[in-house]
Structure 1
Amino acid sequence: MIRWKVLGKKDYLNAAVFSILCISIILAGCSKTEPVKDEATLVRGQTVNFNVSGQTANYSGEVRGRYETQLAFQASGKIIKRNVEVGGIVHQGDVLMEIDAKDIQQTVNIGSAQVASAQSQLSLAESNLERYRKLYEQGAVSSMQLEQYQNAYEVAAAAVRQASAQYTQGSNLLGYSSLVANADGVIANINAEAGQVVSAGQPIITLVQDGEREIEINVPENRIDEMRSAEQVMINFWAMPGLTAEGKVREISPVADKATRTYKVRITLVNPPPGVNLGMTANVTVANAKAQAAVYIPLSAIYQTSDIPNVWVVQDGEVHLRPIKVGNFGNQQVQVLDGLQNGDVIVNAGVQKLREGQKVRL
C-alpha cells in the first residue's frame, strides 16, 4: 500500500532551489569562460625633436619703397593745377602741382623796382664822390666833406646788394610755386586737391623713389631681441602663392608706436622677384638665431594638474604622466625647457581622457 505525503510550502521552495542549482551546474559544464580583454585606446602622438633654430614667428607686412619722400611746397598759396594721380609714374623734374603765383609775381616786381631805385642812388653817389674827390685834390673842400660822400657811396652800394638779394629771393619764391619731382618714382599718396590753400612745408604728395623694395612689419616688444638676432628671414606674397624671397633686417625703430605699442621693422628684399609691387601684402617668417636646443609642442598636448603642466609620454604601449617646464608661447605652440628628451613620443590630442598606465596605440 502506497502512502502519499503531502508536501508543505517549505518543501516546495527547497525543491525549486535544488533544481536551479542542478541546471546551473549543467550549463557551467557546457560553456567556456572567456577572459576580458583590455583594448588599447587609439591616440594621436608626436615624436619630440630638439632643434637649435628656435621657434619661427610670422608677421604680416606691406611692400614699401626704401626711399619715400614727402613732397611739399616751399611757398604758401592756393593750388590751381594737379598733374598727377595716385599710382602714376613720374620722372625727375616733372611738375606735379602748381599754386597761384599772382602775389608772388607782385613781390618779384617790387623787388625789381627796388633794385632799379638802389642802382640809381648808387650812380648819383658815385658821381658826387668823383666830383668831390677832384675838389679835394684842388684844395677846395675839406677831407671831412670827402669822407661824407665816400660814406654815402658805400651806403648806396650796400642798398643795391640788399635790393638785389631781395629780388633774387622773390624770383626763387616764384619758382617754388611749382611742385617738382626730385627723382624718378611712383606717386603713393596725394593729400591735397586743386582749390585747396596750403602752407609752406605742408606734406602734399608722397613719392616712392625707384630702386630697392622693402617689407614693413610691426613687431611686439617681447620679440624685438629675437628680431635683432634673426638667422633667416623668408618672405612670401599673398598675391603670388608658391613664391618665396629671402630678406634681411635693415632697420628696427628705437621707439614704439604710441597706439599699438609695436616697433616698426624694415626688411630688405635680397633678390626681389619680378612682379613685386608697392602695397602688396607679404608674410614674413623669422627664425630665431639663438643656438639653444629647444622643442615646441602643441598647446593641446598640455595636461594641467594644479599649477604644474604635464604631458602624456608613451612608453611600451602605455601612457605615463610627466611634468615639464614651459617657456615661450606663440602660434598655438609652447616651448618646453625641461622634462622631455629627444625621441620621446607624446600624446598631443585628447589628453583629458587618459589615465596613468592606460594602454594606447598610436
Structure 2
Amino acid sequence: MSRSAPILALVSVAVLAVAGCNESQAPAARGEAGRPVLAQRVVAENRHPERRFVGTIRPRVESDLGFRVQGKVARRLVNVGDVVAAGQPLATLDEIDLTLQTEQAEAERRAATVAVAQADADLRRTMTLAGQGWAATSVVDRQKAATEEARSRLMRAERALSLARNAASYAVLSADADGVITATSVEPGQVVAPGQAAIRLARTVEREAVVAVPEALVGRARAGGASVSLWSNPGVRYAARLRELAPAADSATRTYLARFTLPEADGAVQLGMTATVTLTADSAERVVRVPLPALFNQGSGSAVWTVDDAGQLVLRPVTVAAYEAQDALVSDGLQDGERIVRLGVQKLDAGQRVRVVEALDF
C-alpha cells in the first residue's frame, strides 16, 4: 500500500496536466473557427421598381354610326371584323320615299320659279302704268310686296330641294374614317329611326392600351414613364403616353381606368390583343434593401455589420431612406455586392472573427 500510493499520485498529476492542456487548446480552436453568423449579399436596385399591369389594346375612337333619316334597311354591306376605308358604304335604306320627296321639292321649286317670273312681269307693267299716271302708288306697293313674297317662296323651295337631296344621300351609310367593324345592330328589312345605332366602327389610326391602375400608383401613372409590350411578342416594347385617367375609382375594384396611347404602334398591334403596361418612376435613386433585424443602433445612428471573405467584422454607418414592413431601404453606406450580417447583430463586437454559415442573395 505504501508503494502504490506515490504511483497513483503521479498518475493523477499527469492526467490533470493533460486535461489542462486540452482545455487551453479548445478555446484557441474555437477562436480560430469564429462565431457562426447568418449573412447575405446586398444588391442595389431602383427605389421605385417597375410595376406591370395587364391591359387590352383598344381604339382611341370607337363610334356608333347611324342613318340620319328614317327608313327601312335595304342592305347591310359589311360584317363584324371587316376592315373598311373612309367613304366606303356600310348599309343602305330603301330610297323610294326619299326619291318621291326629292321630286316633290323639285316641282315646288319649278312652281316658285314661274311665280317669280310672273310677279316680276306684273311689277314692270305696274311701274309703267304708274309712270304714265294710270296706276296708284298703293297698287305699285302691293305689286312690289307680291314680287318679294314670290322670290322668298322660290328661295324656300330651293332650300327644301337641297334638304330633300341631302336626305336622299343619307340613305347610304358610309364610313367616316379608316377602321374595322366591331358590331352591327341592324338587318335588312328593319325600320330604323334617325340617329339609331346601326354599325360600330373602331378607327385604326390611333390605338391605346387600357389598364386598371391601383390608387397607390396613380401618381406614378401621371408623372412617370410607361411602355407597352404584347403577349404575342413580349420582346418588343412600344413607347406609351398617358392620355386619359379616370377621375374616380371603380366602385367594385377600387382601381382607376387609364388609357395609354401608342404613337409608334405598327401593324403587329391589333385591336383586342392582351398587353403588359410597364410603369417606371422618373427618379433614378438607387437603394439597398436590407432586413430590419440587420440594423444596429446604439444611439448614434443606424449601422450594419459587414463581413469580408476572411470573416472580419466592420460596423458600417448607413443612411436609411425609408422603412417598409420587413425591410429598410438604405440610400448611403453600402455598396452593391457587400455582405452583411442578417441576425444577431446586437451580440457582435468590432474586430471579432466570424464564420459565415449561410450566404443569401437579396
TM-score normalised over the length of structure 1:
0.69
Amino acid at match of 1:75: V
**Distance of aligned partners of 1:267 and 1:209 in 2 relative to their CA distance in 1, 3 Å threshold:** closer
Amino acid at match of 1:104: L
Deviation at 1:146, TM superposition (A): 1.0
Say whether residues 1:246 and 2:238 are aligned partners: yes
Deviation at 1:118, TM superposition (A): 2.2
CA displacement, residues 177-226 of structure 1 (integer Å, 9 cap, x when unaligned): 21101233322x22412144443334433333344443233333432321
Taking only aligned residues, the RMSD between alpha carbons, in angstroms, comes to: 4.2
Out of 336, 357, 361, the residue aligned to residue 358 of structure 2 is 361
Question: SS in structure 1 opposite 2:78?
Answer: coil
**Distance of aligned partners of 1:274 and 1:120 in 2 relative to their CA distance in 1, 3 Å threshold:** closer
Say whether residues 1:287 and 2:284 are aligned partners: no
Partner of 2:44: 49
Partner of 1:275: 268
Provide structure 2 residue ranges, at least 5 long, that are not aligned to the other structure.
1-11, 294-302, 349-355
**Percentage identity across aligned positions?**
25
Contact 2:179 2:204 in 1 (8 A): yes
Alignment: residue pair count: 314
Say whether residues 1:255 and 2:247 are aligned partners: yes
Say whether residues 1:217 and 2:245 are aligned partners: no
Out of 163, 166, 174, the residue aligned to residue 172 of structure 1 is 166
Say whether residues 1:85 and 2:79 are aligned partners: yes
Amino acid at match of 2:358: R
TM-score normalised over the length of structure 2:
0.69
Partner of 1:148: 142
Provide structure 1 residue ranges, at least 5 long, that are not aligned to the other structure.
1-24, 304-311
Out of 127, 132, 148, the residue aligned to residue 133 of structure 1 is 127
CA displacement, residues 226-285 of structure 1 (integer Å, 9 cap, x when unaligned): 123324x332211124x2223131513363465565142223243x45533222111121
Task: Give the Cα–Cα distance (whole angstroms) in 2 for the partners of residues 252 and 296 of structure 1.
Answer: 35
Question: SS in structure 1 opposite 2:198?
Answer: strand
Question: SS in structure 2 opposite 1:182?
Answer: coil
Contact 2:178 2:205 in 1 (8 A): no
Contact 1:50 1:342 in 2 (8 A): no
Task: Give the Cα–Cα distance (whole angstroms) in 2 for the partners of residues 115 and 167 of structure 1.
Answer: 7
Say whether residues 1:192 and 2:185 are aligned partners: yes
CA displacement, residues 25-60 of structure 1 (integer Å, 9 cap, x when unaligned): 9xx99x9999999995878x45141546x2211122
**Displaced runs of 4+ in structure 1, greater than 6 A?**
31-39, 322-325, 337-340
Partner of 2:229: 236
Amino acid at match of 2:247: V
Contact 1:256 1:264 in 2 (8 A): no
**Distance of aligned partners of 1:184 and 1:338 in 2 relative to their CA distance in 1, 3 Å threshold:** closer
**Distance of aligned partners of 1:255 and 1:75 in 2 relative to their CA distance in 1, 3 Å threshold:** farther
**Distance of aligned partners of 1:39 and 1:336 in 2 relative to their CA distance in 1, 3 Å threshold:** closer
Task: Give the Cα–Cα distance (whole angstroms) in 2 for the partners of residues 328 and 268 of structure 1.
Answer: 35
